[in-house]
Amino acid sequence: MTDLFSIAGKTTLVTGGGRGIGRMIAGGFVDAGAKTYISSRNTEVCVAVAAELSEVGECIALPADLSTEAGCRELAAELGRREERLDVLVNNAGNTWGAPLAEFDDAAWDRVLSLNVKGVFHTTKFMLPLLEAAATDDDPARVVNIGSIDGIHVPVLETYSYSASKAAVHQLTRHLAKKLAPRITVNAIAPGPFQSKMMAATLDAFGAQIAASAPMKRIGRPDDMAGAAIYLASRAGAYLTGVILPVDGGIATVG
């Protein structure tokens, strides 16, 4: 049973691993014995978090801007110069934007879709040789995309491009899952409210109400997110592909 949920010795990459959901997953992977690379546009944060996590296990910073195809290609090339294979890719890097409907312009769409959707696609595409090299018949390589419950239900806030982008990530997950099986599984986690930079203002203003309205009566904790990612990355999750897994205390599914 211990081996069933083990990711010890695997090589992993978590994009957007410097903060929030990505930091939670990267911390869980390092704690679980995986060699973990983290990527972020903010070089200073990326290096600092990698140094912090390296006190527990093996964590390496690979700063990159994944909002462009060239940035995704360079990240894959840099990882390829360091590693012969990649067991687990977590596409977490993302952005949001909120504005009233009448003020929601092209910039609000381009900034979010470029990173949240195209970044996921291009990063996965360029990582395929490394993922293929890691895959075996019994233990496929894994791609874990980070969607959102805002791609499942209608959010309260006016974050039109964000919710649309996360719904797109969920469908892209299913599409890639069909294309890449059986050598690579592709699943998505759809987080609910967790403490992060992206959610900070919302939770500061409405955190108590959100927790009270959730079936589980609380905000998500780092272990909740790390546990879901480890499950999908371990042998326990080897037979799942194309799954959208809400980790939200029931908000989008039974709330």
Please enumerate in sequence order all residues whose Cβ is within 8 A of that of 184, keeping only pairs 6 or more positions apart, or say none: 128, 131, 132, 135, 140, 141, 142, 143
For the chain, how big is the Rg over CA atoms in Å?
Answer: 17
Strand order through the sheet with 184-191: 59-61, 35-39, 11-15, 88-91, 141-146, 184-191, 244-247
162 carries an active-site annotation: yes
CB atoms within 10 A of CB 81: 7
Which one of the listed residues 37, 160, 162, 239 is annotated catalytic?
162
- Rounded distance, CA 134 to CA 144, Å? 15
- Rounded distance, CA 6 to CA 29, Å? 10
Which of 28, 50, 87, 42 has the alpha carbon at shortest distance from 220? 28
- Rounded distance, CA 39 to CA 63, Å? 5
Which of 225, 191, 185, 165 has the alpha carbon at shortest distance from 89? 185
Residues acting as catalytic residues: 162
